Amino acid sequence: MQDIMDTIKARDAGEREFHQAVGEVVASVKPVLDSHPEYRHHKILERLVEPERVILFRVAWMDDRGHPQVNRGFRIEMNSAIGPYKGGLRFHPSVTLSILKFLAFEQVFKNALTSLPLGGGKGGSDFDPKGKSDNEVMRFCQSFMAELYRHIGPDTDVPAGDIGVGAREIGFLFGMYKKLRNEFSGVLTGKSLNWGGSLIRPEATGYGCVYFAVEMLKTRGRSLEGKRCLVSGSGNVAQFTIEKLIGLGAQVITLSDSSGYIFDEEGIDENKLTFVKTLKTVRRGRLKEYAEAYPGAVYTPADPDAASNPLWRHKADCAFPCATQNEINAEDAGHLVAGGVHLVAEGANMPTMPQGVDLFLDSRVLFAPGKAANAGGVAVSGLEMSQNSMRLRWPRAEVDGRLQMIMKNIHASCLAAAEQYGMPGNYVAGANIAGFIKVVDAMLDQGLV
Ligand code: NDP
Ligand code: 2IT
């Protein structure tokens, strides 16, 4: 185990987030390797941590002032043992190879947990859509796809959205793919409804995360009714996490963006959520405006030098981090536990740092790692692919019903795997082990390729 970590630290020097994601999985699957010598014999871990293919390319585009701009584009095709590469595209200035490799690695196990035939991948760019006009975003997306189109396809690699990539970007990317290939296919998911998208895909990650939380609470005879909930982020995942929490009678008292956070003691109701959706998705504004619209709420600007995030200091029952990676450190986790939080479900990918995860597990917090709790998004992407292949569209209730069933099944498989390997109730170990076994057995079946 130590050898693997030493090797990737030397070979992939500086890829901090990738090391973090691999470290967690490697630690979880040790008992599986101990009882399956064939996995070690076939060097399964060594093969898993090496992407099948990494594509890195220049994205040149013209801004509105007529100035050329250059960004970097990436697609990590991590593992195709159980299906075509599948995973989102992230457009954010913080994007690096390390971040996309960690996301692609997590995606492999997450996609296996959905029980759908989806391999793992991730991509994106250090392009920042903030402050760009629609025309600039369109030109960037067209240039990005002018390279990516030769590497993807409905049976090869099917990208979707992630941070900074929503319905607008998917539309521009799809338009360019269709023009270059002369093909109308299910090559991207998260498409708009009237040209191949699936009902419930926009809601899926947030709703799925709450469905997972409901399952965890049931194991202790509890429900979400009347629970005070902390949510971070205010994008796609946060919005629909809040929507489902409100629907199930919980009270949501926080949300955030990269500039600061809102504390609304009275709770975010449906009207306030509609305001947030319009603000963030249509007007692309800053959350600060929430406190101007609702004077009962308090806005606190983000302090990048602070040792901890004050959002996690509010007393609550449940927490749903839905913004980005490493947004809960050990100190934040300590505040959450001290403030009464007994459930944490990760809507974002890897929002909790390893020491925070350990603290939650030691404190018997019901803790759902992102690769289990946020798998509803990619699961409904898988259902969008099925509908595209059949040239059919399922009704809302059908997709939502399938999503609920998938989240229940993921919850059950995590618990069963954790129990089988002597770590009952540990959803981190359970998710890693259940996802790992499915992928590595497929790799062994397919030989050394
Ligand atoms: P969006 O772009 O819709 O929203 C992202 C939100 O997080 C925004 O509120 C944004 O603030 C905030 N944010 C982003 N980066 C940072 C940062 N570095 N520091 C502080 N705040 C930040 O993205 P999504 O909602 O789609 O994604 C959120 C998380 O969920 C990510 O971890 C993503 O990987 C994960 N995820 C997404 C899925 C999906 O289907 N979309 C599926 C599964 C996981 P601001 O408005 O200021 O940018
Ligand atoms: O992290 C994720 O699972 C996503 N961004 C969604 C991926 C997808 O293909 O729908």
* DSSP letter string, 283-316: S---THHHHHH-TTSEEEE--TT-SS-GGGGS--
Pick the atom of ligand 1 nearest to 256's CA.
9
Region for 356 from its dihedrals, namely left if φ exceeds 0, alpha if ψ lies in -120 to 50, beta otherwise:
alpha
Pick the atom of ligand 1 nearest to 255's CA.
9
Q: How confident is the model at residue 2 (pLDDT cuts 50, 70, 90)?
A: confident
Residue whose C-alpha is closest to residue 142's, from 168, 177, 189: 177
Residues in Cβ contact with 96 at an 8 Å cutoff, skipping those fewer than 6 apart: 126
Instruction: Find residue 124's DSSP bridge partners.
Output: 74, 90
Q: What is the mean pLDDT of residues 10-29?
A: 98
Centroid of ligand 2 to alpha carbon of 377 (angstroms): 6
Read off φ and ψ for residue 229, nearest 5 degrees.
-125, 140
pLDDT at 408: 98
As annotated, the active-site residues are 122
How many whole angstroms separate alpha carbon 420 and alpha carbon 161? 35
Centroid of ligand 1 to alpha carbon of 374 (angstroms): 12
Q: What is the mean pLDDT of residues 64-80?
A: 98
DSSP H or E stretch at residue 159: strand 157-160
Helix boundaries (H) for 163-269: 167-181, 201-218, 236-247
DSSP conformation letters of 52-120: SEEEEEEEEEE-TTS-EEEEEEEEEEEE-SSSSEEEEEEE-TT--HHHHHHHHHHHHHHHHHTTSS--E
How many whole angstroms separate alpha carbon 394 and alpha carbon 46? 41
How many whole angstroms separate alpha carbon 399 and alpha carbon 381? 11
How many whole angstroms separate alpha carbon 41 and alpha carbon 46? 11
Q: What is the DSSP letter of 162?
A: B
**Which residue's CA is the nearest one to ligand 1's atom 46?**
257
Residues in Cβ contact with 245 at an 8 Å cutoff, skipping those fewer than 6 apart: 210, 224, 229, 231, 252, 320
Structure tokens of 357?
């995860």
DSSP H or E stretch at residue 439: helix 427-445
User: Per-domain residue ranges for the chain?
Assistant: 51-195, 204-373
pLDDT at 8: 97
Structure tokens of 79?
């593992």
State which of 162, 384, 410 you would mutate to test the pocket of ligand 2, scoring each by most atoms of that ligand within 8 A of its C-beta: 162
State which of 86, 126, 237 you would mutate to test the pocket of ligand 1, scoring each by most atoms of that ligand within 8 A of its C-beta: 237
**Whose atoms come closest to the Cα of 87: which ligand?**
2
Q: Tell whether ligand 2 has an atom less than 6 A from the beta carbon of residue 377.
A: yes
How many whole angstroms separate alpha carbon 317 and alpha carbon 339? 8
Q: Give the 3-state secondary structure of residue 318.
A: strand
Which class does domain 204-373 fall in? alpha beta
Fold of 51-195: Rossmann fold (3.40.50)
**Tell me: the pLDDT tens digits for 118-152?**
999 999 999 999 999 999 999 999 999 999 999 99
Query: Is the pLDDT score of 167 beyond 90?
Result: yes
Q: Do the Cβ atoms of 371 and 379 come closer than 8 Å?
A: no
Q: What is the mean pLDDT of residues 173-191?
A: 98
Residues in Cβ contact with 324 at an 8 Å cutoff, skipping those fewer than 6 apart: 163, 233, 348, 351
Centroid of ligand 2 to alpha carbon of 313 (angstroms): 29
Structure tokens of 207?
């709703």
How many whole angstroms separate alpha carbon 144 and alpha carbon 147? 6
Query: Is the pLDDT score of 53 beyond 90?
Result: yes
Query: Is the pLDDT score of 241 beyond 90?
Result: yes
pLDDT at 222: 98
**Whose atoms come closest to the Cα of 119: which ligand?**
2
Q: Do domains 51-195 and 204-373 have the same CATH topology?
A: yes
Report the 10 Å Cβ neighbour count for 437: 18
Q: Give the 3-state secondary structure of residue 252.
A: strand
pLDDT at 1: 80
Query: Is the pLDDT score of 16 beyond 90?
Result: yes
Q: What is the mean pLDDT of residues 4-22?
A: 97
**Tell me: the pLDDT tens digits for 81-108?**
999 999 999 999 999 999 999 999 999 9
What's at 334, amino acid-wise? G
Work out the angle between the directed axes of helices 354-362 and 330-338 (0-180°, nearest 10).
30
Q: Give the 3-state secondary structure of residue 127.
A: coil
pLDDT at 310: 98
pLDDT at 191: 98
Residue whose C-alpha is closest to residue 433's, from 443, 442, 423: 423
pLDDT more than 90, % of the chain:
99
Q: Tell whether ligand 1 has an atom less than 6 A from the beta carbon of residue 84.
A: no
Q: Tell whether ligand 1 has an atom less than 6 A from the beta carbon of residue 374.
A: yes
**Which residue's CA is the nearest one to ligand 1's atom 4?**
235
**Tell me: the pLDDT tens digits for 398-418?**
999 999 999 999 999 999 999
Q: How confident is the model at residue 396 (pLDDT cuts 50, 70, 90)?
A: very high
DSSP H or E stretch at residue 231: strand 228-232
* CA angle, residues 203, 95, 384, in degrees to nearest 5: 30
Residue whose C-alpha is closest to residue 87's, from 108, 72, 114, 113: 108
Centroid of ligand 2 to alpha carbon of 107 (angstroms): 8
Q: What is the DSSP letter of 281?
A: I
Q: What average pLDDT does the chain have?
A: 98
**Tell me: the pLDDT tens digits for 253-266?**
999 999 999 999 99
How many whole angstroms separate alpha carbon 443 and alpha carbon 449? 8
